[in-house]
Each structure stands twice: as C-alpha cells, then as structure tokens.
Amino acid sequence: MSTTISPLAPTQVPDMPAIAGIRLATAEAGIRYKNRTDVLLALFDPGTTAAGVFTRSKCPSAPVEWCRAILKSGKARALVVNSGNANAFTGKSGRAATRLTAEIAAKAAGCKPSEVFLASTGVIGEPLDATKFAPVMQGLTERARAGDFLAAARAIMTTDTFPKAATATARIGKARVTLCGIAKGAGMIAPDMATMLSFIFTDAAISAPALQTMLKEGVADTFNAVTIDGDTSTSDTLMMFATGQAADCPRIARAADPRLKAFKKALGQVLANLSEQVARDGEGARKLVEITVEGAVSKASARRIAMSIANSPLVKTAIAGEDANWGRVVMAVGKAGEPADRDKLAIWFGGIRVAHKGERDPAYDEAKVSDVMKKPEIFLKVALGLGKGRDRVLTCDLTKDYVAINGDYRS
C-alpha cells in the first residue's frame, strides 16, 4: 500500500449516511498486511436482494465463482471482503477456502453459507488461509453497526492511495431512498462487465432481477469505461444490495418500472463517481485523462478506438511527460482496427484543436497546448467524421511510479 496519496484524489471526503438494514465492521485478520484492517463484514437484514456483475476473465478467482453460483437466489445476508490475497488460481484449496469462509461467517451471522457473498483482492496464486477469519468473525458480527462506509472502503484497499466512497439519494414513489457505494481499484484495471471490487448498498425495495438489470446497464458507461493498464483482473466484482427498509418504499419488481427513473439516475451517479475515483487512483497516476471519440460509425466502434488510445503506452507516457504528442493518438486510432479515415480526422487537447483533416492544425500553437498539458486533468477528443457514434472513457497517465509499484509488488 502506497503511503503517498494520489495528487488526483478528491479534495472532499463524502458524508456517507447509514443505510437501514445494513451493519458494517472491519478487522485486522493479518492476511498479508500488518497494522491495518484487511477484512470487511457487511450484515444484511432478512429480505435484502442482491445483484452482481463479474470479471469476464477465463481464469476467474474462487470468490467470483462462489458468488456466481449463489447469486441465483437473489438473496443476501452477509458480505465478506478481504484484501491482501485474491484467492485466485488457488485450485481446490481456493474453493475450500471460499466454502470455509462462508461457513464461518454464516455461523457468526446466523444465516446459511449460501447467503454469504465473498470477494478477495490482492496477490494471485497464493493459497488463502481462511482459518484466519475464524478468530475475528464473532467480534465482527458483535461490533457490526450502521454507517462507517469509509472504514469499510479502507479495509478493502490494496495499492489504492485513498478510500473510495460515493452516495446519492432518489425518490421512489413517495419514499426517499439512499445509495452508498464503495470501491477499490489501483492496478490491473480494464474491467470487462465489472471492475476490481465495488459494492453498492441501498435501502430501496427492488427485486433482484430488477437490480441485476440496472447494474448491468449502469456499469457499461462507468466502470467498463475506465482503464488503468488494459489488464483485466481475475477478481473483478461489482455487487449491489437492496434492503428494502426505506420508509414507505413501494416494492419494485421490474427494472422497466417508471418509478425507478430517479433511482437509475442516482445509481448512475454513484457508479460514475466511484469509477472516476478508480481512474484518479490508478497506480502511479499524476494525470486524469478523459478521452472522447465522436463521429465514429457506432458507439461500440467509438469505445474500441477510445480504449485503443487509453491503453496505448506511448500515449500514456507522452501525457506523463506533459507532451501533446497527438501523432501517437493518430497511431492509436490507426491500430484500433475500426473504420477511420486519416484525412477526416481531427484531434483536440483540452479544447485546442491540434490536428484537422489529416494534418496538423494550421493554427497549431505549441505553447498554448503545452499549458493545457501541465494541468492535472487532460481532455482529449478525437472526431472521426464518419458517423454519429460517440463514447467516452477515463484513464490515467503511465509514469515511472507505475513501473516502480508493479516491479516490486510482491516483495
């Protein structure tokens, strides 16, 4: 865990309200880190519904497989998250560790193991010693109480430099419901239907299938539009839990219910906020980079081109060097494999057009563009001039610190 907070960290820590029906506790189980919390327990009152999206990796972690299997019921009573060990590529012992963890938590929480969701983040390939959860679990259930989402966010950090939390409220009918979300990110971030670890909690009364639909829709332009290094984790997990305990909240069964309009918007805000925080805390990041591609033949094509730019080491190192090297943006557009016409291409850095109709903008002023590149937030726009496809992704720069952090992560 880094000791220096990212210069891109939000300046204000959000005021996170409690969610009726959810209690939280954290503990030091000594999984890998010393002198810091590394286990989070969330307890849900009976009636809580659950939804989740997970990594598309062909080599998913044991907890991801566990969650996928028990999610069919749509019901949740507990969530156990640990940092320091991903329990990924751990074979039979990994499966046994998930079962044991769920059993320990179920016993302490008074529920069934199949109602306990699990997530692990940290080193891949090290066996996870689940017996370490036993001594702390009873204390966790006893101490669990409403509220401290920032402590929860802190317990799931790995190379993150700040805890990530966001909140929003919405009306459903006459009820006022609250959403609270936490996330961890940092490296190995190129989510594909999910991100590293993120959990959204709400007191709304929404069926599991409706939650699932909204989560899947919500993630497409938030977490799935963020990349740190193009590396998709084995452990990506985004889950949402709804207790239904908001006063007077009508029970909503279908995602298409018009009463969910404000809730969907609030969910979108929380997801966008958390995923932007993940980009702001990319390993070694010194610049937040927003890449907009417009005029593509479709939104999907715009996404692939934006991701090709966002994942290009040459674009990312140029931004780290505060160099408006738009030639590398041309390269990344060209290698994306998507329809593009060099002679229609235009490129902007921070609102300044640097390239136009396939060549350097006649009004190009290196000094002005250099000023833009010195800022902590870089807005890069590419117009293809082919169609109406538009998309936006977030990333960060590639610095020597990224190399340093990842060259000695295990040592």
Active-site hit among 48, 195, 237, 243: 195
Q: Which residues in 237-276 contact its own copies (CB under 8 A)? A: none
Overall size of the chain counted in residues: 411
Q: Which residues in 323-352 contact its own copies (CB under 8 A)? A: 323, 325-328, 330-343, 345
Q: Counting Cβ atoms within 10 Å, is residue 343 exposed (0-12), middle (13-18) or buried (19+)?
A: exposed
**175 or 193: whose CB is closer to its own copies?**
193
How far are the Cα atoms of 282, 295, 348 from residue 291, in angstroms, in the given order? 16, 14, 10
**135 or 358: whose CB is closer to its own copies?**
358
230 binds its own copies (CB under 8 A): yes
**248 or 323: whose CB is closer to its own copies?**
323
Which value, in Å, is the radius of gyration of the alpha carbons in the chain? 22
Task: Select the residue interacting with its own copies from 22, 43, 76, 86 (CB under 8 A).
Answer: 86
From the CB of 100, what's the least distance to its own copies, in Å? 16
Max Cα distance, the chain (Å): 71
93 binds its own copies (CB under 8 A): yes
- Told to judge if 131 belongs to the known catalytic residues of this protein, a careful annotator would answer no
Could you tell me the two tokens for 302?
A: 């715009």
Which stretch, 13-21, 103-111, 231-239, 249-257, contacts its own copies (CB under 8 A)? 231-239
- Tell me which amino acid residue 170 is: A
| Separation CA 247–CA 258 (nearest Å) | 19
CB within 8 A of 322, min separation 6: which ones?
A: 370, 373, 374
Task: Select the residue interacting with its own copies from 234, 243, 273, 275 (CB under 8 A).
Answer: 234
Q: Which residues in 176-215 contact its own copies (CB under 8 A)? A: 187-188, 190, 192
| Separation CA 162–CA 61 (nearest Å) | 25
Give yes or no for a contact between 80 and 117, defined as CB atoms under 8 angstroms apart.
yes
Could you tell me the two tokens for 149?
A: 């989402």
Of 340, 352, 346, which Cα lies nearest the Cα of 296? 340
159 binds its own copies (CB under 8 A): no
**57 or 114: whose CB is closer to its own copies?**
57
From the CB of 297, what's the least distance to its own copies, in Å? 12
**For its own copies, what does the binding mask look like between residues 380 and 409, x meaning CB under 8 A?**
------------------xxx-xxx-xxxx
Instruction: Please list the active-site residues.
Output: 195
